[in-house]
């Protein structure tokens, strides 16, 4: 027979382990004022993007919330302003699944904002491969939104970022990218979420090389296993929640916790002088697999052609 104390001891031990995990995840320690700085956050209507925008507004930044759904963007602004009213919040419509929308968005940004100090490429999608989802321009949905959309957006805003130097580009990726390193071939553009995250890291490396000396620093960030709306397209049954609850309690971060490394790379003086690095838990992440420079360069060339940018 199980001793009654066990029913108390197990939850206590789990809670202690959870606290230990939270400690190891790290936290952005920089709390300095960001008044006068302009941040552009994609996918800012929910999850990590929303919490990033909230934290930046709290520090008096001017924040552009670039979102596909303007209704959700305005709802996010109301949510932030209900508690944090220090910074300026500007919701703008951006559909990363449409090259036309991206170009229209950047035209407006370049016209209306003299400076862009930090671009945070946070938005992302996940669909089961069986869904065979495509973007407006016919690209596989993960590579189209998670990589190609942000690739075009960043390149169109890069001259403004250089004018605003010192400036930063923060690309939200995932350690799942390592599942695709060995089989990633730019000319084949393999489908899937992990492949798009691999493309994110390769993009970070190549952009850092090409922007070297311009005053634009580039970082790839793995936010960790975080509870967001990313997997909203995946249908879960009631028993999935029961089975996953213990794992989620121990390992899953809140959106605010997931945003910490994004904020660290976007605002902290600790990363001054660094570029082309991957960060996780507010510190440098040492990849388990090496990314080849020639693959990053080839991906850049292929991506330029796909989004109809002139060769650089």
Question: What is the signed CA dihedral for 286, 288, 290, 295, rounded to 10 degrees?
Answer: -110
186-210 average pLDDT score: 90
208-229 average pLDDT score: 90
Tokens of 45: 């209507």
| pLDDT given for residue 233 in this prediction | 47
Alpha helices in the chain (DSSP H): 4-25, 47-58, 70-81, 99-112, 141, 150-163, 193-210, 238-251, 255-258, 260-267, 293-306
The pLDDT-based confidence of 131 (bands split at 50, 70, 90) is confident
Contacts of 170 (CB under 8 A, 6+ apart): 118, 119, 120, 121, 122, 219, 221, 262, 265, 266
Distance CA 53, CA 32 (A): 15
The pLDDT-based confidence of 10 (bands split at 50, 70, 90) is low
Distance CA 220, CA 247 (A): 26
Does the annotation mark 177 as catalytic? no
Q: Is the pLDDT of residue 126 over 90?
A: no
Q: Is the pLDDT of residue 25 over 80?
A: no
Q: Is the pLDDT of residue 142 over 60?
A: yes
Q: Is 224 left (phi over 0), alpha (psi -120 to 50) or beta?
A: left
Q: Percent of the chain at pLDDT above 70?
A: 83
Contacts of 171 (CB under 8 A, 6+ apart): 121, 150, 200, 201, 203, 204, 218, 219, 220, 221
Q: Percent of the chain at pLDDT above 90?
A: 68
For residues 306 and 11, the model is more confident at 306
120-139 average pLDDT score: 89
Contacts of 34 (CB under 8 A, 6+ apart): 56, 59, 60, 61, 87, 267
Tokens of 169: 């580009």
| pLDDT given for residue 121 in this prediction | 99
193-203 average pLDDT score: 93
| pLDDT given for residue 186 in this prediction | 84
| pLDDT given for residue 178 in this prediction | 81
- What residue has token string 């169109």? 156
211-216 average pLDDT score: 98
CA distances from 17 to 25, 236, 254 (A): 12, 27, 16
- What residue has token string 């202690």? 16
Candidates 3.40.190.10, 3.40.720.10, 3.40.50.720, 3.30.70.1290; CATH matching 4-306: 3.40.50.720
- What residue has token string 């949905």? 141
Q: Which of 3-12, 25-34, 44-53, 267-276 has the lowest mean pLDDT?
A: 3-12
**What is the overall mean pLDDT for the chain?**
88
Contacts of 290 (CB under 8 A, 6+ apart): 181
Determine contact, residues 198/181, Cβ cutoff 8 Å: yes
Q: Is the pLDDT of residue 225 over 70?
A: yes
Q: What pLDDT digit, counting tens, does each position of 155-173 carry? A: 999 999 999 999 999 999 9
| pLDDT given for residue 106 in this prediction | 99
Catalytic residue among 7, 20, 23, 193: 193
| pLDDT given for residue 185 in this prediction | 82
280-304 average pLDDT score: 94
Q: Write phi, then psi, for 168 (nearest 5 degrees).
A: -140, 150
Using CB atoms within 10 Å of the CB of residue 273, give its burial: 0 to 12 exposed, 13 to 18 middle, 19+ buried: exposed
267-282 average pLDDT score: 97
Determine contact, residues 80/54, Cβ cutoff 8 Å: yes
| pLDDT given for residue 250 in this prediction | 59
Using CB atoms within 10 Å of the CB of residue 8, give its burial: 0 to 12 exposed, 13 to 18 middle, 19+ buried: exposed
Q: What pLDDT digit, counting tens, does each position of 41-80 carry? A: 999 999 999 999 999 999 999 999 999 999 999 999 999 9
């Amino acid at each position: 027979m199980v001793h009654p104390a066990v029913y108390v001891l197990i939850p206590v031990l789990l809670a202690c382990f959870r606290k230990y995990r939270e400690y190891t995840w790290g936290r952005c320690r920089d709390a300095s004022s960001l008044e006068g700085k302009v941040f552009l956050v994609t996918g800012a209507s929910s999850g990590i993007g929303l919490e990033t925008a909230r934290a930046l507004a709290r520090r008096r930044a001017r924040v552009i919330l670039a979102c596909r759904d303007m209704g959700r963007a305005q709802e996010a602004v109301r949510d932030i302003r209900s508690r944090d009213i220090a910074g300026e919040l500007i919701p703008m419509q951006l559909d990363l699944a449409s090259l036309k929308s991206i170009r229209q968005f950047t035209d407006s940004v370049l016209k209306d904002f003299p400076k862009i100090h930090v671009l945070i490429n946070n938005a992302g999608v996940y669909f089961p491969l069986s869904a065979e989802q495509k973007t407006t321009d016919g690209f596989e949905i993960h590579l189209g939104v998670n990589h190609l959309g942000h690739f075009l957006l960043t390149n169109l805003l890069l001259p403004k970022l250089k004018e605003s130097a010192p400036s930063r580009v923060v690309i939200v990726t995932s350690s799942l990218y390592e599942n695709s390193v060995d089989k990633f071939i730019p000319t084949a553009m393999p489908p899937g979420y992990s492949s798009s995250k691999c493309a994110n890291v390769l993009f970070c490396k190549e952009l850092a090389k090409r922007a070297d000396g311009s005053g634009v620093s580039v970082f790839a960030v793995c936010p960790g296993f975080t509870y967001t709306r990313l997997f909203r397209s995946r249908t879960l049954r009631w028993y999935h929640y029961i089975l996953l609850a213990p794992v989620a309690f121990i390992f899953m971060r809140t959106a605010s916790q997931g945003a910490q490394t994004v904020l660290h790379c976007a605002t902290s003086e600790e990363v001054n002088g660094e570029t082309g690095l991957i960060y996780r838990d507010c510190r440098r992440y040492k990849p388990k697999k090496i990314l080849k420079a020639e693959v990053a360069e080839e991906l850049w060339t292929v991506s330029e052609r796909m989004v109809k940018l002139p060769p650089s």
